[in-house]
Amino acid sequence: MKCTNRRKIHKRIAAVLVIAVMAMGLSGCGGSKYTMPYRADSEVSSFNVMTFSADDRVEPFAADLCVVKDDVIPGEEPDMSQAGSAVLFDLNSREVLYSKNAHERMYPASLTKVMTALVALKNASVDQVLTANEKVVVTESGAQLCGIKKGDTMTLDQALHVLLINSANDAALLIAENIGGSTEAFVEMMNEEAKRLGATNTHFANPHGLTDETHYTTAYDMYLIFNEAIKYEAFNEIIHTSNYQTTYYDRNGKAKELNLRNTNGFLNGNVQSPENITVIGGKTGTTNAAGHCLILLSKDVNGAPYISVILRCETGDALYSEMSDLLEEIKK
């Protein structure tokens, strides 16, 4: 009687079990067969995952952005006692120079119009002719208007100038109705763009910024939105304009003249910027609920760019005083 090599038997049994398990895995519980070929050059193979070059790495979302986690207060703190929130960012170095309540939700007032302009520039040509319909009407008392009536026509370029220089709320509705097809659809576009930019503490309810409980943003989110808007040459040209004259037409083709002055004190000559700091432009915003708000693009003596934001300041004088103090941080 021959003796059987138990070790060989065990190896054969193990091999049979492995093959059986593999067969079950490939056939699935329901008996369907799945083909799972392995190639070393597959984009998801362990070979490629372990050996790809640094140039192939995915660029992080915030690689070119300033990131704020907590308040950032320099040694000699600027006077921000009247501001609800404030931020100052060095765009070249992506350094946070100052931050106070950067992620606290607040009403943006007409800083909303930065997003209105951004969505319009992304989705239409500045030469597009806009026609006012019966929905281009603002009834809120004290709201800034340029006097657009049903049937009036102007180009998107004209409307953007009126929107950003004069902060006209009827110009915001004119843009929304024409570019979005309706104000509601345009506001959806604004919120989608906010999500795309990572402005996750922002929600828009209208294109002009008049008070609504569901209409809010943060100083940091406004930086994200403004930082995207300044990529457009047309936007930069408009926010840098101190005075604007134009002619548009009513429903009968009759010319209507507009002569506008920038609401930004640094642009209209009412406020002097700190020495060696040039204010390129920005956007103002004021409502009873939002207080006084301002966002700016500025440059230092070497031409390096900075974005600063103040939300919910008590008064207009305090807004410009504290913004000047904030800009002084650039030189330190």
Dump pLDDT digits (tens) for 75-111: 678 999 999 999 999 999 999 999 999 999 999 999 9
- Which residue type occupies 283? K
Residue 60: per-residue pLDDT: 56
Give the length of the chain.
332
* Domains of the chain: residue spans and CATH: 6-48 (no CATH), 85-331 (3.40.710.10)
Alpha-carbon span 22 to 180, nearest angstrom: 55
Instruction: Choose the weakest-confidence range: 52-66, 99-113, 302-316.
Output: 52-66
Residue 48: per-residue pLDDT: 39
Mean pLDDT of 141-156: 96
Q: Is the pLDDT of residue 52 over 80?
A: no
3-state secondary structure the chain: CCCCCHHHHHHHHHHHHHHHHHHHHHHCCCCCCCCCCCCCCCCCCHHHHHHCCHHHCCCCCCCCCCCCCCCECCCCCCCCCCCCEEEEEECCCCEEEEEECCCCCECCHHHHHHHHHHHHHHHCCCCCEEECCCCCCCCCCCCCCCCCCCCCEEEHHHHHHHHHHHCCHHHHHHHHHHHHCCHHHHHHHHHHHHHHHCCCCCECCCCCCCCCCCCEECHHHHHHHHHHHCCCHHHHHHHCCCEEEEEEECCCCCEEEEEEECCCHHHHCCCCCCCCCEEEEEEEEEECCCEEEEEEEEECCCCCEEEEEEEEECCHHHHHHHHHHHHHHHHC
Q: Is the pLDDT of residue 58 over 90?
A: no
Alpha-carbon span 42 to 49, nearest angstrom: 9
Q: Is the pLDDT of residue 53 over 50?
A: no
- The string of pLDDT tens digits covering residues 276-299 is 999 999 999 999 999 999 999 999
Q: Is the pLDDT of residue 50 over 50?
A: no
Q: Is the pLDDT of residue 201 over 60?
A: yes
Q: Is the pLDDT of residue 14 over 60?
A: no
Q: Are 187 and 205 in contact (CB under 8 A)?
A: yes
Q: Is the pLDDT of residue 13 over 90?
A: no
Mean pLDDT of 261-281: 97
Mean pLDDT of 169-198: 98
Return the active site residues. 110, 113, 167
Alpha-carbon span 57 to 80, nearest angstrom: 41
Residue 71: per-residue pLDDT: 84
Between 308 and 25, name the one with better pLDDT.
308
Instruction: Choose the weakest-confidence range: 29-38, 134-143, 232-241.
Output: 29-38
Average pLDDT over the chain reads: 87
Q: Is the pLDDT of residue 37 over 90?
A: no
Q: Is the pLDDT of residue 73 over 80?
A: no
Q: Is the pLDDT of residue 56 over 80?
A: no
Q: Are 103 and 116 in contact (CB under 8 A)?
A: no
Q: Is the pLDDT of residue 177 over 80?
A: yes
% of the chain residues with pLDDT over 70? 81
Residue 61: per-residue pLDDT: 56
For residue 96, list its beta bridge partners.
Answer: 89
Binned at pLDDT 50, 70 and 90, residue 2 comes out as very low
Q: Is the pLDDT of residue 316 over 50?
A: yes
pTM of the model: 0.81
Residue 117: per-residue pLDDT: 98
Q: Are 265 and 164 in contact (CB under 8 A)?
A: no
